[in-house]
Structure formats: structure tokens, C-alpha cells
Amino acid sequence: MQNSLKHIVGLIKAVIIVAIWLITLSVRLTAQPVYSLLYEPSWSQIAGAENLLTLHRAVVEVQGKFLPAQLFDESSDWTKAAGIAYRLSKAILLDNNIEYLPMILQHEVFGHGARFREFGFQGSSYNINLGPPYGNASGFAVWGRNKRSLTETEDIAAWIGGVEANQRMAQTTFLQWLQHGQMHYREMLTAILSMHNITLYALTTTSGDNADIDSYRYKLNAFYRNRNIDKTVRLEDIQRQVLLNLLNPWQYFIAYAYAKEYTWDAKEEWAFPMIRFGEVGYLPSLRCGLGVFGVEGYIENFLSYAGASGLVYYRQTLDSPLPAYGVGMEVRNVSINSWLTLGVKCDAWLQSTMQLGTEDRVSEKTRPGISATALANVWLPEQNGYRVGLTLHAGYKTRGFVQSEPLAQGVTIRLGIGFAQALKNDTK
């Protein structure tokens, strides 16, 4: 184990160096946040996050032409109060539900649903309710038909798929913001709901409610018992561990920007601060996630440079009898020239071997695994401040658990259309 940990430390150093090097390859072009509509037969969590965020931004752009952040001059106290009342009313009656829908659809259809499709279920169904004042902001996924029973690790993965997918959606949003150094007010609520879905879910769960978190705890404890492991995960343990998410700086940026920059000042975008090393921006973060072998802690390092964005992370199980470790990086929007941007997503891990499909019980030795996906956008010339192009994700993964990826080994292919909006010169 000591040698394995030394290898992991070495991998972390190498991943950080490679990520910074890839980001600094980006040539100086106009900073543009990139959105994509992707096709993938399994409709994975990654494709779901990209597609829902792109469709949401399209709705926001259209709506903004009719209901902008500011309707009239607000130079007096009375007009300022009226402007704030307008923005709050717009949020309550319209915006909040438009921002809520991507999060709940990602959770149910592209979270649990992605795992259902991965494991061969057919005819699964989903129930989505709007948020206040039109509904109770709830949803659920119903297992479809399957010709086989799930293995224990597959069962656990299906139960945690919702919060896992929401964390992927939050990451995707942060990487888009990093590409132009600003966050848009209409994406803030979606991001914070996605980021804290696991937190709110855990803290509001009661023992025996059979929802995601309690079922995860139950399945995990059964998994341990069946291996003669003397370990019981309590609900209180998970509720304490998810408090790690309070050390994520993005939520405090969002709270300030929405209250001050948008609600008070009527600005649509806010340039958030980062630690600067020359022209490379850096932002550290901590968070908690659910894994098939136990609750995991993440150390995340966000990077930006010349329109490119990056994420380097280290993860490990927290208080688990089956320790698992992982490192990874994701680099996006490295501008090679005016028509080509590249990226990469790589992960490496050390964890117990999983039983998948109809195979017999496997020896649960700790084994390494890797995944690597190349990301590419080929752009047409810019027209009226926008660019459209072909998007391709192509890669390969070995067997193992890594957030939002299939459990089994296999090839990854996603094909679609990319959209890039030029950075505005003002924040109004």
C-alpha cells in the first residue's frame, strides 16, 4: 500500500504539471464559453449535463430579449426599489423554475436514468414536478425491466447516480465560467442546486425513508456485511461528511454575485476573483461525493488561462474499509488556432475490483484503472458574435468507478455540435 500511495503522489504531481502545460498552450483568442449538444447512445451523465446546460442557455438568451435584468433607469431610490422588486418577482414567478429544471432532469433522467440504461433496463420512467410556487420541487425515477439482477456495486451505482450526475453538472458549469472569467446570473441557481443536491439530500434524509441517501447507506452496509467486514455506515456519518461541501468557494461567489451584482445592480455577469500566478488563474476547492466503496472526499483545483479552463483533482474514500484513491484532470477549450480547440479528460484510480453483469463473484483485490478522452471542436467562422462547429469526444476506459463514467471498460464516442458566444465587453 505504501508503494501505491507513493505512485499516487507522483501521479498527482504529473497531472498538475500536464494540466498547466496544456492550458498554457492556448493561443490568445477571444474568450468564449463553449456549449455543446452531444449525441451518445447511452445518454450518459456527461452528455446530459452538456445538453441541458446548452438548452437552458438558449432559453435564457431568448427570454432575455423580452425580460432583461433591467427594464428602466434606476438612478433614484424609488426606481431602484422598483427594479429590485421586478427582479425578485421575475425570479420567483419564472426564472427559478427554468433554472431548477436542468438540475432535476439531470438528477433523474441523466443520473439514475443513465445507470439504468448502462445496466440494460428498458421502459424506465421519470416523474418531474415544478418548484414553488407551481409545485413541490420533487422528482423520482422508476426502474424499468431487466433480464438480469444487478450486482451489489451496480445497485449502489444506480442509487447514487442522481447526486453524482448533479455534481457533474456543477463541474461543467464552473469549467464554462472559467473560459471567460465570468458567471451569468441565470446559471447561478442551477449551479448551486446541482452542487448542493447531495448536501441538501443528506441533511434532510431520515432513517428509513428509502430515498437515495438512506438506500445508499443500506446497500453499502449490506455490501460490507456480505464480505464479513465489520463496518456500519450511519446516516449521521454521511451528514457530517457532506459538510465538506461548505468549503467550496463557488457557492460564496454565487451568493455575492446574485445578491449584489444582479439583484441590486442589475448586472447579468460578474467577473469572479481567482488566485493569480502570472496569467494563470487558480481556485482551490473541497467537496464530498458518493462512491461505490464509500463516501469520497475531493480536493479540486480549478485553472484558467487565455480562454482555456481546467480541473485537477485528487479523491479518496473517507473512513471506508475498502480504500479507494483517484486522480484526474479535465482541460477544455485550448485554442490551437482560429478554427480548432482541443481538450482532454483523464482519470486514474486504485480501488477494489467490482463484480459486473452476469459474471461470477470476483476477487476484490485492489487494482489500478485509467480512462482518457480527447475533446475537440472544429469551428466555422464567427458570425454576429457566435461560432458553431463540430464537437467530438473520443476515449477509452478500463473497469472501475469514476464520477459520471460507465463502470465497465469500453470505448467512449460522443458527437455533436458546439456553440461559442463571444465575451461581452460590458457586464450589463
The per-residue pLDDT for range 139-164, each reduced to its tens digit, is 999 999 988 889 999 999 999 999 99
Task: Return the pLDDT at 425.
Answer: 42
Backbone φ and ψ of 162, nearest 5°: -65, -55
Contact present, 286 and 195 (Cβ < 8 Å): no
Q: For the chain, give the percent of residues with pLDDT over 70.
A: 89
pLDDT at 32 over 70: no
Q: Exposed e or buried b for every residue in 323-344, given b needs 16+ CB within 10 A?
A: bbbbbbbbbbbbbeeeeebbbb
Task: Return the pLDDT at 361.
Answer: 60
Cα 341 to chain centroid, rounded: 21
Domain ranges within the chain, ordered by starting residue: 2-421
Average pLDDT, the chain: 90
Contact present, 197 and 212 (Cβ < 8 Å): no
Categorize the per-residue pLDDT at 119 as very low, low, confident or very high, splitting at 50, 70 and 90: very high
State how far the alpha carbon of 422 is from the alpha carbons of 37, 56, 180, in Å: 18, 18, 9
Q: Which residues contact 409 (CB under 8 A, 6 or more apart)?
A: 396, 397, 398, 399
> What average pLDDT does this structure show over 224-236?
92
pLDDT at 82 over 50: yes
Query: Range with the lowest mean pLDDT among 113-122, 169-178, 417-426?
Result: 417-426
Task: Return the pLDDT at 50.
Answer: 97
Cα 162 to chain centroid, rounded: 11
How many other C-beta atoms can be found within 10 angstroms of the C-beta atom of residue 382?
14
Task: Return the pLDDT at 18.
Answer: 56
Q: Give the predicted TM-score (pTM) of the model.
A: 0.91
Categorize the per-residue pLDDT at 8 as very low, low, confident or very high, splitting at 50, 70 and 90: low
pLDDT at 7 over 70: no
Structure-model confidence comparison of residues 207 and 428, the more confident one: 207
Contact present, 50 and 230 (Cβ < 8 Å): no
> What average pLDDT does this structure show over 18-31?
49
Task: Return the pLDDT at 17.
Answer: 54
- Per-residue pLDDT tens for 344-370? 999 999 999 888 887 666 566 788 999
- Per-residue pLDDT tens for 160-203? 999 999 999 999 999 999 998 999 999 999 999 999 999 999 99
Distance CA 358, CA 401 (A): 18
Distance CA 73, CA 188 (A): 25
Helix axes 197-204 and 212-225, enclosed angle (nearest 10): 80
Distance CA 156, CA 179 (A): 35
Task: Return the pLDDT at 13.
Answer: 55
Contact present, 170 and 193 (Cβ < 8 Å): no
Beta bridge partners of 348: 327, 370
pLDDT at 421 over 60: yes
Query: Range with the lowest mean pLDDT among 16-20, 115-119, 168-172, 174-178?
Result: 16-20
pLDDT at 1 over 80: no
Structure-model confidence comparison of residues 26 and 166, the more confident one: 166
Categorize the per-residue pLDDT at 31 as very low, low, confident or very high, splitting at 50, 70 and 90: low
Long-range contacts of 122-125 (CB under 8 A, 24+ apart): 122/146
Categorize the per-residue pLDDT at 53 as very low, low, confident or very high, splitting at 50, 70 and 90: very high
pLDDT at 385 over 80: no
pLDDT at 12 over 90: no
Task: Return the pLDDT at 337.
Answer: 87
Beta bridge partners of 382: none
> What average pLDDT does this structure show over 26-44?
76
Helix axes 185-195 and 45-66, enclosed angle (nearest 10): 150
Distance CA 193, CA 199 (A): 10
3-state per-residue secondary structure call for the chain: CHHHHHHHHHHHHHHHHHHHHHHCCCCCCCCCCEEEEEECCCCCHHHHHHHHHHHHHHHHHHHHHHCCCCCCCCCCHHHHHHHHHHHHHHHHHHHHHHHHHHHHHHHHHHHHHHHHHHCCCECCEEEECCCCCCCCCCEEEECCECCCCCCHHHHHHHHHHHHHHHHHHHHHHHHHHHHHCEEEHHHHHHHHHHHCHHHHHHHHCCCCCCCHHHHHHHHHHHHHHCCCCCCCCCHHHHHHHHHHHHHCHHHHHHHHHHHHHHHHCCCCEEECCCEEECCEEEEEEEEEEEECCEEEEEEEEEEEECCEEEEEEEEEECCCCCCCEEEEEEEEEEEEECCEEEEEEEEEEEEECCCCCCCCCCCCCEEEEEEEEEEEEEECCCECCEEEEEEEEEEEECCCCCCCCCCCCEEEEEEEEEEEECCCCCCC
> What average pLDDT does this structure show over 280-298?
96
The amino acid at residue 58 is A
Q: Are strands 325-337 and 308-317 parallel, antiparallel or unpaired?
A: antiparallel
Task: Return the pLDDT at 353.
Answer: 86
From the list 186, 213, 219, the residue with the least C-alpha distance to 200 is: 213
Task: Return the pLDDT at 26.
Answer: 47
**Block residue for cell numbers 435584468:** 69
Beta bridge partners of 283: 302
Task: Return the pLDDT at 272.
Answer: 96
Take residue 188 and report the three cell numbers written for it.
447561478
Beta bridge partners of 368: 350
Task: Return the pLDDT at 11.
Answer: 56
Structure-model confidence comparison of residues 23 and 81, the more confident one: 81
